[in-house]
Structure 1
Amino acid sequence: MDKQIVIVLILNFIISIIGTLAYSVRLVGVRTGKIAVTFAVFNVLMLVSRTAVTFQSPLLTKFVESNSSSNDLIRIFNLIIVISGIASVVGAFLIPTFQKMFSKAVNHFSIERSIPKLILHSFSKTGVKYIRNSIAIPVKESLTSINFKNLPKRILFYNFISVAIITAGAFAPIYAGSIAPELRATCLSLSPIINGTATILTSIFIDPHLSIMTDDVIDGKCSEEEFRGCVIAMVGSKVVGTFMALFIFVPASYLIAFVANYI
């Protein structure tokens, strides 16, 4: 396999895991009582994710420019999406471990008030020991205790659609450039428009609902168990939405090429 694709797969794995772990950040904020600090610390991981995206796109675009075989490209893109889905599943299993580690990081940051010191502490003997002791395996009760009747099904559906669009939208403009090589730059420039649809869903429906639930847990209007069930369901919808991108990737690519030809 081409070295560029191997790097893209590794970067995409990291991006997808961080994206999955992001759903549990609000739970950590509720448990520590430090919601603002929790998001401030998580921004370090988001910085890693954004950096990975920055390198992933040009590497993938360069590979497409050097390989004109349509069938080979579709297989490569499908592989990348499958790896995204697998990474989402891995991220879901890592959530219990992440919550323990991240809670400790938030509390440590509240004392030291320094991200560099927090990073250095993570690599210290004490930090490594705590990371090792934080390893936790998901328990079956986490799923069986969920009250599916109380889950916000509309929000879960929006999240499913949003994830599918974002996943396919990250790669469809690049593949569309191979469908219409003379319009490659135009196809790539349409990427923000596609992802904008998912951003609208997230900003108007998903994030506000989760924010309200977070406040309700703190105010005692919603139980932490109910909130945890919602987070688990959101992670599940993300996993399904990621794999759904396999079915909409090619149609989305041709749609982008069509739009690029007529704007």
Structure 2
Amino acid sequence: MPVAIVIVLILTFVIYIVSTLSYSVRIVGIKTGRIAISFAVFNIFSLIARTANTIQAPLLSKSIEESIRVGRAGEFLYVFRWILALSTIGAIVGAILMPTFIKLFSKTVNSFSVYKSVPKLLVHSFSKAGIEQFKKSISKPKRENISQLKSLRRIPKKIIILNIMACSISTVGVVAALYAGCLNPDLRTTCSNLAPVINGSSTILITIFIDPYTSMLTDDVIRGECSELQFSRCIIFIVFGLILGTILAQLLLVPAAMIIESIAKFI
């Protein structure tokens, strides 16, 4: 496997760990009572995913161009399968790390209130005290949190289904568009440009249904109309939906690529 592809797989793994951990930011905001600061500090972590994403795309595109040049574009499917597999593994690892991240990130948010400076906060993070805080924050997922998946109370089934759909579409969108370009190299530019259109449907689902629901629950917790346990249960379902969505993306890859190729021919 080419070095460029290995780098793409590693970056995919990192991106999905960070994406999964992002769901715990609301929990930290509620626990610390500093929701705005929690999102502001998390932007530092999200820079990792954004930077990885900008490096990932050109590396993958170049590998595809070279495969097309030597006439082996059709054999590139296994690479896309691996990318989706690493997405699933990254999401699972992110879910396992959530208890540790919540404890560590809560301390980070509280420390930011003291230092009031991102550079000072970073220096503190790598200090002896910061490393000790990290060691003390390491914890395993609780069995009762996993058992929450057995209960659908107060979690609308529509939200669960829409979340799985949105996650599967966002996971497969770019990959399917690139694979469509492999199936029809003459239309690869058109296929690649259709990726934002595909991902747009995922963004619409998240913006209209998922984010408003979690925001409403966040406000309910602050007002005392919803318990932290119920809110955590909602986040567990959303994270589980992300994992299922990445698995479903494996089944959607080829059909989605064929649809994108057909649309590219039509337009």
Q: Read off the aligned partner of 2:185 and give its amino acid letter.
A: P
Q: Read off the aligned partner of 2:45 and give its amino acid letter.
A: L
- Indicate whether 1:135 and 2:102 are aligned: no
1:211 paired residue among 185, 191, 215: 215
User: Normalized against structure 2, the TM-score is what?
Assistant: 0.95
- Indicate whether 1:175 and 2:208 are aligned: no
2:63 match = 63
- Indicate whether 1:245 and 2:243 are aligned: no
1:153 match = 157
- Indicate whether 1:197 and 2:201 are aligned: yes
Secondary structure of the residue aligned to 2:153 is helix
1:20 match = 20
Alignment CA distance shift 1:184-1:129 (3 Å): same
- Indicate whether 1:51 and 2:22 are aligned: no
Larger mean CA deviation between 95-104 and 66-75 belongs to: 66-75
Distance 1:78 1:144 in 2: 30
1:232 match = 236
Distance 1:24 1:104 in 2: 14
1:105 positional shift: 0.7
CA contact (8 A) 2:74 2:182 kept: no
**Unaligned segments of structure 1, at least 5 residues:** none
Q: Read off the aligned partner of 1:25 and give its amino acid letter.
A: V
CA contact (8 A) 1:172 1:250 kept: yes
CA contact (8 A) 1:143 1:229 kept: no
1:104 paired residue among 88, 107, 130: 107
Distance 1:259 1:122 in 2: 49
- The ranges of structure 1 where at least 4 consecutive aligned residues each deviate by more than 6 angstroms after the TM superposition are none
CA contact (8 A) 2:64 2:73 kept: no
1:144 positional shift: 2.8
1:121 paired residue among 107, 112, 124: 124
Distance 2:180 2:37 in 1: 41
Secondary structure of the residue aligned to 2:133 is helix
2:86 match = 83
1:145 positional shift: 4.8
Distance 1:101 1:205 in 2: 30
Quote the sequence identity (%). Answer: 47
Q: Provide Cα deviations, 1:137-157, integer angstroms capped at 9, x if missing partner.
A: 011111335642222221111
- Indicate whether 1:166 and 2:173 are aligned: no
- Indicate whether 1:29 and 2:33 are aligned: no
Distance 1:121 1:98 in 2: 17
Question: Aligned-residue CA RMSD in angstroms?
Answer: 1.2
Distance 1:45 1:183 in 2: 36
Secondary structure of the residue aligned to 1:137 is coil
Q: Provide Cα deviations, 1:94-149, integer angstroms capped at 9, x if missing partner.
A: 00000001001111111211112212211111111111111000111113356422
Distance 2:241 2:83 in 1: 19
Q: Read off the aligned partner of 2:178 and give its amino acid letter.
A: I
Q: Provide Cα deviations, 1:179-209, integer angstroms capped at 9, x if missing partner.
A: 1211111111111111100000010000000
1:71 positional shift: 5.2
Larger mean CA deviation between 173-182 and 62-71 belongs to: 62-71
1:5 match = 5
Q: Read off the aligned partner of 1:230 and give its amino acid letter.
A: C
Distance 2:146 2:186 in 1: 50
Distance 1:137 1:53 in 2: 29
CA contact (8 A) 2:74 2:183 kept: no
1:72 positional shift: 3.0
